[in-house]
Chain A
Amino acid sequence: GENVEQHPSTLSVQEGDSAVIKCTYSDSASNYFPWYKQELGKRPQLIIDIRSNVGEKKDQRIAVTLNKTAKHFSLHITETQPEDSAVYFCAASDSGGGADGLTFGKGTHLIIQP
């Protein structure tokens, strides 16, 4: 089955700086890669996603890049703000096989220092 590795486990950046979180996946059939943000005690919230036919996608301060050859994808947050502090999860799924359950990375605790 799919295996998703996520790094780093903790990331501390100064407010206003950029943050980058990286993930690798093992199953070359995976074709959908969402990112979720989870605040303490809350539900995971979808913030951006990318499909395998696209190399990059941007939504305001958030961008995701995908390298299918290397099987890795990254989340980029620019001009970080205190409200960006949370745990971020990457995930992958293979919709082609009909099983749409997501395989998640272990999460990155992003800390924005004022």
Chain B
Amino acid sequence: DSGVTQTPKHLITATGQRVTLRCSPRSGDLSVYWYQQSLDQGLQFLIQYYNGEERAKGNILERFSAQQFPDLHSELNLSSLELGDSALYFCASSPTVGISYEQYFGPGTRLTVT
């Protein structure tokens, strides 16, 4: 157990819908990262937040957005869902930025778009 929690574990929804994935980082970690894992694209970095502020963007679609709240939990919002958005979405956390501290992954949310 990494100490990072994610809900829900599984999510099944239809094309065109919107969903919200939730992540709670390890106690004391200020930085949260979101990754997408699919068979064709592999593990891809989407976005990073540090202490409530957006820190870096990766291959995140405009239909996707995220935020980090004052209690440091983060939410990833996926809208206008397409079949190709079906994937495992992982959240990871680390203590800080600037120095590459280890990133610990949560159990993931499996999203299925039908």
B25-68 contact mask (Cβ, 8 Å, vs A): 1 or 0: 00000010101000000111111100000011010000000000
Contact yes or no, A100 B97, CB < 8 A: yes
Contact yes or no, A43 B107, CB < 8 A: yes
Which residues of the partner chain B approach A70 to less than 8 Å between Cβ atoms? none
Which residues of the partner chain A approach B105 to less than 8 Å between Cβ atoms? 36, 43-46
Closest to B41 in A: A106
The answer to whether the Cβ of A93 comes within 8 Å of any Cβ in the partner chain is: yes
Which residues of the partner chain A approach B33 to less than 8 Å between Cβ atoms? 100-102
Which residues of the partner chain A approach B46 to less than 8 Å between Cβ atoms? 101
Residue of B2, B43, B55, B103 touching A99 (CB-CB under 8 A):
B55
Contact yes or no, B100 A46, CB < 8 A: no
Q: How far is the CB of A102 from chain B (nearest CB, A)?
A: 6
Q: In the complex, which residues 14-69 of chain A have their Cβ closer than 8 Å to any Cβ of chain B? A: 31-32, 34, 36, 42-46, 49, 51
Contact yes or no, A34 B48, CB < 8 A: no
Contact yes or no, B45 A46, CB < 8 A: no
CA distance A104 to B97 in the complex (A): 19
Residue of A34, A43, A104, A107 touching B102 (CB-CB under 8 A):
A34
The answer to whether the Cβ of B70 comes within 8 Å of any Cβ in the partner chain is: no
List, sorted by A's number, 7 A–B pairs whose CB atoms are closer than 8 Å: A44-B43, A44-B105, A46-B104, A46-B105, A95-B99, A98-B56, A98-B98
